[in-house]
């Protein structure tokens, strides 16, 4: 009795000291910080803040919490009550002297008046991932990165402080790569020098209504003076499902099916001896036990690897950078893969006194392959595999397939059906900067072109299930599109510093033009499953369509900045 009482008292004491600690982490301006590390000191018990900067973890009274985040000073806070912890992170003062890219220029962090965050090449190098968007997760406050699919080569959706508008500006941030409009995954992460995020009107307004959802400015790596250096890097990895649904085995499926029939006043569908055959696995062709989702998601290797080679060098007047990259990602599902090749060339040269020339060329070739079925996507195949009962066989010993409602993931995967997406892009820009004899006065001229082309093909073959069932006829859809984007800019800047006061004025104009064309065709009924070109299909089934979209944009802009002894900042 005494021993029992002591155990109860001991348990009660532990329960009273253990508590659930909740908190909110923000920066000095009140912006929630995503991905801040919260760790109970001296333990492995920790968590990270969510999209709203909030966290919750179990800790004892008196424990010390260690709070750390990239670019901010780490803190330690003692757990003293169950009240909500409000933690304000202080930016590392060493980082305040860093120069970040802003709209049409650069600026020291300490002089910023708008909400701007920056990510460096070193930050990206710490993330061995396949795309730039994936590498940004947790690297900047106010930035949310959502991975919506596990398909090879699939990028992530990046939002800055959520969605600001659903207007013609779209719902995504404006992305500029070396000043040219593009997509965040157009550039290999290894080729990026820095990324700046303009998150509010004060920092992004110079780009007009296109910046309603923020602006992402990507600067690629430039060369450096000195002898030529050659750098090679690579990474290897595998993708596997971390957790899968726990489905009923076929015999329990049959038992529950019988129960449902009885509840509806109907005759049972499975006899006891049939259920036993499902259980003992003595006849897997006719009484199988198949986890179709597990089979589908483990049919591929999931192996991925990437390689990057760069050459940098220069002399007193000219510097250059040449980089090539290759990545290959096999999917967790068979016949699913992504292959991507990239190339980047940048050069900076002082061609005359006060006259600077910058050249940038960026290109990629991207190919995605996937099986095709019903419906026409790997995501749809996975959805149907979830619904496929375990009582339906996969591939049987005679080569035929079990099926449910005209569907079998095993049959579609074994067929000659496929989806292929091929996209190519090349962008080139040149900038001429003249630093005039007038102190602080510069003129900048810039021109660029971005050409993008895409070719998609989706073929659904005549698909054999068994001797009594073949699904057809074979169908083929082909889509092709190309886009040409051009831009011209002219800027004038004037900057004057008097003692500790700085004044800067910028004015300019830009012209942008985009031309987008599309063409698609369809036919069905082909001679066999290997002649999958439109010309081999039944001409009477042919359909086609085309599209053309053009737009042009002429803009004028100006900005000024007054900085008085680093204590008073005026912008407009």
Of the candidates 290, 288, 291, 260, the one whose C-alpha atom is nearest the C-alpha of residue 274 is: 288
What's residue 33's pLDDT? Answer: 86
| Per-residue pLDDT at 253 exceeds 90 | yes
Q: Are residues 121 and 210 in the same domain?
A: yes
What's residue 123's pLDDT? Answer: 82
In DSSP terms, 362 is beta-bridged to 344, 427
Return the CATH number at 35.
2.60.40.1120
Residue 4 belongs to some domain of the structure: no
Tally the domains of the chain: 4
What's residue 43's pLDDT? Answer: 86
Domain boundary among 74, 92, 110: 92
| Per-residue pLDDT at 96 exceeds 60 | no
Q: Are residues 147 and 178 in the same domain?
A: yes
Domain boundary among 203, 220, 237: 220
| SS3 state at 539 | helix
| Per-residue pLDDT at 113 exceeds 70 | no
3-state secondary structure 297-364: HCCCCCEEEEEEEEEEEECCCEEEEEEEEEEEEECCCCCCEEEEEEEEEEEEEEEECCEEEEEEEEEE
Please return the burial class of 84, using the count of CB atoms within 10 Å of its CB with bins 0-12, 13-18 and 19+. Answer: exposed
Domain boundary among 77, 92, 107: 92
Is residue 220 a contact partner of residue 193, using CB atoms and an 8 Å limit?
A: yes
What would the mean pLDDT of 488-492 be, rounded to a whole number? 94
| Per-residue pLDDT at 130 exceeds 90 | no
What's residue 133's pLDDT? Answer: 86
Residue 104 belongs to some domain of the structure: yes
What's residue 306's pLDDT? Answer: 93
Residue 291 belongs to some domain of the structure: no
More confident residue, 60 or 10: 60
How far apart, in Å, are the Cα atoms of 520 and each of 337, 376, 458, 477? 24, 16, 11, 7
3-state secondary structure 378-403: HHHHHHHHHHCCCCCCCECCCCCECC
Segment holding 273, helix H or strand E: helix 272-280
Most confident by average pLDDT, 80-84, 161-165, 409-413, 499-503: 409-413
Rounded distance, CA 280 to CA 273, Å?
A: 11
Domain, as residue range, for 374: 298-378+418-571
Return the CATH number at 109.
2.170.130.10
Of the candidates 186, 123, 191, 184, the one whose C-alpha atom is nearest the C-alpha of residue 159 is: 184
Q: In 469-567, where do the E strands start and end? A: 469-471, 475-498, 501-524, 543-564
Residue 31 belongs to some domain of the structure: yes
DSSP secondary structure string, 201-261?
Answer: HHHHGGGGGGGTT-EEEEEE----SEEEEEEEEEEEEE---S----PPPHHHHHHHHHHHH
Cα 106 to chain centroid, rounded? 26
pLDDT band at 52 (very low <50, low <70, confident <90, very high): confident
What's residue 392's pLDDT? Answer: 94
What would the mean pLDDT of 186-209 be, rounded to a whole number? 82
Comparing 109-123, 283-297, 366-380, 428-442, the range with the smallest average pLDDT is 109-123
What's residue 30's pLDDT? Answer: 82
Is residue 563 a contact partner of residue 501, using CB atoms and an 8 Å limit?
A: yes
What would the mean pLDDT of 17-27 be, rounded to a whole number? 83
Q: What is the DSSP letter of 165?
A: -
Q: Are residues 347 and 441 in the same domain?
A: yes
Q: Are residues 430 and 488 in the same domain?
A: yes
More confident residue, 147 or 306: 306
What would the mean pLDDT of 282-289 be, rounded to a whole number? 95
| Per-residue pLDDT at 120 exceeds 90 | no
pLDDT band at 8 (very low <50, low <70, confident <90, very high): very low
pLDDT band at 4 (very low <50, low <70, confident <90, very high): very low
What's residue 110's pLDDT? Answer: 45
Residue the block writes with tokens 């051009």 = 486
Q: Are residues 271 and 333 in the same domain?
A: no
Q: Are residues 54 and 121 in the same domain?
A: no
pLDDT band at 554 (very low <50, low <70, confident <90, very high): very high
pLDDT band at 112 (very low <50, low <70, confident <90, very high): low
Segment holding 4, helix H or strand E: helix 2-17
Residue 503 belongs to some domain of the structure: yes
Q: Are residues 322 and 366 in the same domain?
A: yes
| Per-residue pLDDT at 5 exceeds 70 | no
Residue 338 belongs to some domain of the structure: yes
Q: Are residues 364 and 480 in the same domain?
A: yes
Is residue 408 a contact partner of residue 465, using CB atoms and an 8 Å limit?
A: yes
What would the mean pLDDT of 231-251 be, rounded to a whole number? 91
81-94 pLDDT, tens digit per residue, is 878 889 998 876 55
pLDDT band at 31 (very low <50, low <70, confident <90, very high): confident
Q: Are residues 73 and 154 in the same domain?
A: no
Q: Are residues 126 and 185 in the same domain?
A: yes
Most confident by average pLDDT, 86-95, 234-243, 270-279: 270-279
How far apart, in Å, are the Cα atoms of 26 and each of 72, 141, 397? 11, 9, 61
| Per-residue pLDDT at 321 exceeds 90 | yes
Residue 389 belongs to some domain of the structure: no
What's residue 417's pLDDT? Answer: 92
| Per-residue pLDDT at 167 exceeds 90 | no
What's residue 558's pLDDT? Answer: 86
Residue 235 belongs to some domain of the structure: no
Is residue 88 a contact partner of residue 36, using CB atoms and an 8 Å limit?
A: no
Comparing 385-399, 533-547, 554-568, the range with the smallest average pLDDT is 554-568
Q: Are residues 361 and 466 in the same domain?
A: yes
Is residue 139 a contact partner of residue 72, using CB atoms and an 8 Å limit?
A: no
Of the candidates 80, 71, 57, 65, the one whose C-alpha atom is nearest the C-alpha of residue 28 is: 71
Strands 143-146 and 157-160: antiparallel
Q: What is the DSSP letter of 524?
A: E
DSSP secondary structure string, 8-43?
Answer: HHHHHHHHHHEEEEEEEEE-TTSPBPTT-EEEETTS
Residue 449 φ/ψ, nearest 5 degrees? -140, 140
What would the mean pLDDT of 36-46 be, rounded to a whole number? 87
Name the H helices within 86-241: 93-96, 121-125, 132-135, 201-204
449-462 pLDDT, tens digit per residue, is 999 999 999 999 99
What's residue 9's pLDDT? Answer: 36
What would the mean pLDDT of 100-112 be, rounded to a whole number? 59
Rounded distance, CA 293 to CA 383, Å?
A: 9
| Per-residue pLDDT at 95 exceeds 60 | no
Q: Are residues 51 and 125 in the same domain?
A: no
What's residue 477's pLDDT? Answer: 96
| Per-residue pLDDT at 97 exceeds 70 | no
Q: Output the average pLDDT for the chain.
A: 85
Segment holding 421, helix H or strand E: strand 418-435
What is the gyration radius of the CA atoms in the chain, in angstroms? 30
Segment holding 2, helix H or strand E: helix 2-17
Rounded distance, CA 44 to CA 61, Å?
A: 17
Residue 134 φ/ψ, nearest 5 degrees? -65, -35
Of the candidates 73, 25, 71, the one whose C-alpha atom is nearest the C-alpha of residue 49 is: 25
| Per-residue pLDDT at 376 exceeds 70 | no
Return the CATH number at 462.
2.40.170.20
């Amino acid at each position: 009795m005494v021993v029992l009482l002591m155990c109860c008292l001991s348990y009660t004491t532990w329960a009273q000291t253990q508590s659930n600690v909740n908190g909110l982490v923000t920066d000095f301006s009140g912006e929630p910080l995503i991905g801040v590390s919260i760790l109970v000191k001296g333990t492995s018990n920790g968590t990270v803040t969510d999209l709203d900067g909030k966290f919750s973890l179990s800790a004892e009274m008196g424990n010390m919490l260690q709070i750390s985040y990239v670019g901010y000073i780490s803190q330690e806070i003692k757990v003293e009550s169950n009240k909500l912890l409000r933690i304000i992170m202080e930016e590392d003062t060493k980082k305040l002297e860093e120069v970040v890219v802003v709209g049409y220029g650069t600026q020291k962090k300490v002089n910023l008046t708008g909400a701007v965050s920056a990510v460096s090449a070193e930050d990206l190098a710490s993330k061995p991932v396949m795309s730039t968007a994936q590498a940004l997760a947790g690297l900047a406050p106010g930035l949310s990165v959502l991975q919506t699919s596990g398909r090879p080569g699939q990028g992530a959706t990046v939002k800055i402080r959520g969605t600001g508008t659903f207007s013609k500006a779209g719902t995504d941030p404006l992305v500029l790569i070396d000043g040219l409009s593009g997509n965040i995954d157009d550039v290999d992460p290894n080729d990026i020098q820095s990324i700046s995020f303009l998150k509010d009107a004060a920092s992004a307004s110079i780009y007009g209504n296109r910046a309603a959802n923020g602006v992402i400015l990507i600067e690629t790596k430039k060369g450096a003076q000195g002898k030529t250096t050659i750098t090679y890097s690579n990474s290897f990895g595998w993708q596997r499902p971390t957790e899968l649904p726990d489905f009923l085995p076929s015999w329990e499926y049959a038992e529950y099916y019988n129960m449902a029939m009885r509840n509806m006043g109907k005759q049972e569908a499975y006899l006891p001896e049939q259920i036993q055959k499902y259980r003992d696995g003595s006849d897997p062709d006719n009484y199988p036990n198949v986890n179709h989702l597990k089979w589908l998601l483990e049919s591929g290797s999931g192996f991925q690897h990437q390689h990057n080679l760069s050459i940098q060098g220069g002399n007193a007047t000219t510097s250059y950078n040449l980089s090539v990259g290759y990545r290959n990602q096999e999917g967790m599902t068979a016949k699913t893969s992504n292959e991507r090749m990239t190339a980047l060339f940048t050069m900076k040269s002082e061609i005359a006194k006060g006259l600077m020339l910058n050249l940038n060329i960026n290109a990629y070739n991207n190919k995605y392959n996937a099986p095709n079925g019903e419906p026409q996507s790997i995501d749809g195949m996975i959805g149907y595999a979830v619904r496929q009962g375990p009582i339906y066989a996969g591939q049987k010993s005679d080569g035929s397939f079990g099926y449910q409602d005209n569907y079998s993931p095993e049959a579609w995967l074994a067929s000659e059906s496929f989806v292929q997406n091929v996209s190519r892009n090349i962008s080139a820009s040149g900038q001429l900067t003249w630093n005039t004899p007038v102190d602080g006065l510069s003129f900048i001229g810039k021109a660029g072109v971005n050409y993008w082309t895409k070719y998609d093909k989706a073929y659904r073959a005549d698909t054999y299930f068994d001797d009594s069932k073949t699904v057809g006829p074979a169908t083929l859809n082909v889509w092709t599109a190309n886009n040409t984007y051009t831009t011209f800019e002219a800027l004038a800047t004037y900057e004057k510093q008097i003692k500790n006061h700085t004044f800067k004025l910028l004015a300019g104009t830009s012209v942008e033009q985009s031309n987008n064309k599309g063409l698609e065709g369809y036919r069905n009924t082909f001679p066999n499953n290997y002649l999958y070109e439109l010309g081999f299909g039944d001409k009477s089934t042919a359909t086609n369509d085309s599209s053309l979209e053009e737009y042009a944009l002429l803009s004028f802009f100006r900005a000024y900045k007054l900085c008085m002894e680093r204590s008073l900042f005026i912008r407009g």
